[in-house]
Structure 1
Amino acid sequence: MVSKTEEAQVNRLENQVDNGGGGAWEYLCLVRKLKLRRSDKVLKHGLSILNEPSKRSSLGHEEWTLYEQVAIAAMDCQCLDVAKGCITVLQKKFPDSKRVGRLEAMLLEAKGSWSEAKKAYSSLLEDNALDQVIHKRRAAMEKAQGNLSGAIECLNKYLEIFMADHDAWRELAEIYVSLQMYKQAAFCYEELILCQPTNPLCHLAYADVLYTVGGLENLQAAKKYYASVIDLTGGMNTRALFGICLCTSAIGQLTKGRNKEEKESLGLQSLAATALEKDYKQRAPSKLSLLSSTLRSLKLS
């Protein structure tokens, strides 16, 4: 995850380069280091270096890294002739490179030659079954074709090997949610919370899934995870505050007449409603009346 300081540094360098102030190579290195996908800028400024022999030769061995970076950016921008040109240069320099072979397969994918790309990826995996990028590309390719079950299969196989990959768990969870497979999505978010216990977004997504599934036990658990989001964000997450209110209202309907459960929910619901009203007074005073009406309909105000 890119910090605000790093993002500001990238934006400053990008603005400098765009306005002719130099620093294109430093900008490209920083984008690569932070794993950003500013493909249009990378393509533009990368080509400005590659097209000038003196600038290109001054890079030394980093020249080949730049060819790879520009090739990927060109594929993102559908400038496939540029991508092919970069890959051809790399093929001549590294004729037996599996890394270049991966770029060739990616180019086939970018062209929409799905079956050829799939064969190329499969061949590369035979040589190196632990290539994370290729596993992810196969899942992305299935998703791009609308084959979500295929993407799920690829991601599950990948996660059997690379269980600590947070991004893969998140991607798999989002696909499950899109297919309304909430129990499977919940399992993915549980794995994410185990890996990143202090990340409020993981707790929030898990709470949303539990609330969607419904039932007293899930609603009670969802309320706890919404509460943990509020704790982790210092009370600054509006969605979690609304989640508390919605869970409290739903639990109240299911436990009507059970005084113990109602009393246990009373304190938290009151705090959440008060925090929401305070937040709206500061940031959206024109919508405060709408909020109050919503809370009354939930019997929270």
Structure 2
Amino acid sequence: MVGASEESRLNCLEIQVDNGGGGAWEYLCLVRKLKARRSDKVLKHGLSILNDHRARSKLGGEEWTLYEQVAIAAMDCQRVDIAKDCIAELRKQFPGSMRVGRLEGMLLEVKGAWPEAEKAYQRLLEDNPLDQVIHKRKVAMAKAQGNASVVVEYLRKYLEIFMADHDAWRELAEIYVSLQMYKQAAFCYEELILCQPLVPPYHLAYAEVLYTMGGLENLQTAKMYYASTINLTGGKNTRALYGVCLCIAAINQLSKGRNKEEESSELQTLAAESLVKDYKLRAPVKLPLLTAALRNVKLVS
């Protein structure tokens, strides 16, 4: 995560460089360090250094890092001509480099040459099946083409190798939800909760998937994870509070009131009271709507 002080320093440097105050190389280095997405500025100031032989010669080996940085920025800005020239210089300096091969694949993507890019990435993976960046590029390429089933296939293959990538698990879960493949989405959220048990959004998302799936067992588990979300957020999560109320109402309806748990009844009351209190403070205009909704599921009289 980018710190506020570093972000402030980056902004100050950007203003300085834009106004001719120097420090372009320092700015470009900081952009790289912070992984900031400022492609138009990188392209402008990076080219100014590359086109100045004296300035470029001062960089030593870092010259090639700048070529790569400018190439990526050029692709972001749809300047295929500049990207192509930068990649050609890198290829001459590093023949057979997989890193340059990735850039060539990305350039094919920018051109919309999807089959050629796919073949280029596949060749690179044959040489190094564990290249994480190329696996991610294949996922990104499938997303760019709007092919959800292929995205799922690539993400599943990716996660077989890189099981600790939480972002990939979350992305796969969200795609499964969009495809209404709730059982598969639930599995992804279970993996996330196992890896990061104190992250409230994972508990909440898992509960919502289980509630959507329905059935007494799923509803009971959903209620538990809504409750854990409330606990992890200090009782501040409105969606989780409402989720608890809906789960208990649905459970009571399915069981027709048989074996009603005292604990659930108490939880229901506390959740409903917390919701009413929260709406009184933050959205009093909507309080009648909330009360009507709770009354509709027989959570308030």
Answer yes or no: same fold by TM over 0.5: yes
Partner of 1:196: 196
**Is structure 2 residue 171 aligned with structure 1 residue 171?**
yes
Secondary structure, counterpart of 2:16 in structure 1: coil
Secondary structure, counterpart of 1:157 in structure 2: helix
Relative to structure 1, is the Cα distance of residues 214 and 70 closer, same or farther in structure 2, using a 3 angstrom cutoff? farther
Q: Structure 1 CA distance, aligned partners of 2:51 and 2:276?
A: 58
Partner of 2:102: 102
Q: Structure 2 CA distance, aligned partners of 1:11 and 1:274?
A: 42
Runs of 4 or more consecutive aligned structure 1 residues displaced over 6 Å after TM superposition:
none
RMSD: 2.4
Q: TM-score scaled by structure 1?
A: 0.88
Unaligned runs of 5+ in 2: none
Q: Give the CA deviation at 1:100.
A: 0.6
Q: Are the counterparts in 2 of residues 16 and 23 from structure 1 also a CA contact under 8 Å?
A: no
Relative to structure 1, is the Cα distance of residues 38 and 201 closer, same or farther in structure 2, using a 3 angstrom cutoff? farther
Partner of 2:15: 19
Read off the aligned partner of 1:19 and give its amino acid letter. Answer: I
Q: Structure 1 CA distance, aligned partners of 2:55 and 2:234?
A: 49
Read off the aligned partner of 1:258 and give its amino acid letter. Answer: R
Secondary structure, counterpart of 1:100 in structure 2: helix
Q: Give the CA deviation at 1:54.
A: 4.9
Partner of 1:287: 286
Superposed, which structure 2 residues align to 1:1-301 within 5 Å?
Answer: 2=1, 6-20=2-16, 25-261=25-261, 263-301=262-300
Deviations along 1:142-175, one digit per CA (max 9) or x if unpaired, are 2222222222222222222211111221121122
Q: Give the CA deviation at 1:50.
A: 4.0
Secondary structure, counterpart of 1:19 in structure 2: helix
Segment of structure 1 superposing worse, 191-200 or 72-81: 72-81
Q: Are the counterparts in 1 of residues 200 and 233 from structure 2 also a CA contact under 8 Å?
A: yes
Q: Give the CA deviation at 1:55.
A: 4.6
Q: Give the CA deviation at 1:291.
A: 2.4
Relative to structure 1, is the Cα distance of residues 33 and 20 closer, same or farther in structure 2, using a 3 angstrom cutoff? closer
Unaligned runs of 5+ in 1: none
Q: Give the CA deviation at 1:279.
A: 2.6
Q: How many pairs align?
A: 296
- Percent identity of equivalent pairs: 72
Read off the aligned partner of 1:93 and give its amino acid letter. Answer: Q
Relative to structure 1, is the Cα distance of residues 214 and 38 closer, same or farther in structure 2, using a 3 angstrom cutoff? farther
Relative to structure 1, is the Cα distance of residues 42 and 288 closer, same or farther in structure 2, using a 3 angstrom cutoff? farther
Read off the aligned partner of 1:74 and give its amino acid letter. Answer: A
Q: Are the counterparts in 1 of residues 10 and 31 from structure 2 also a CA contact under 8 Å?
A: no
Secondary structure, counterpart of 1:260 in structure 2: coil
Q: TM-score scaled by structure 2?
A: 0.88
Secondary structure, counterpart of 1:20 in structure 2: helix
Secondary structure, counterpart of 1:221 in structure 2: helix
Q: Are the counterparts in 1 of residues 252 and 260 from structure 2 also a CA contact under 8 Å?
A: no
User: Considering only CA atoms, is the larger Rg found in Structure 1 or Structure 2?
Assistant: 2
Q: Structure 2 CA distance, aligned partners of 1:191 and 1:139?
A: 20
Segment of structure 1 superposing worse, 273-282 or 135-144: 273-282
Read off the aligned partner of 2:119 and give its amino acid letter. Answer: K
Q: Give the CA deviation at 1:23.
A: 5.6
Q: Structure 2 CA distance, aligned partners of 1:193 and 1:231?
A: 15
Q: Are the counterparts in 2 of residues 67 and 86 from structure 1 also a CA contact under 8 Å?
A: yes
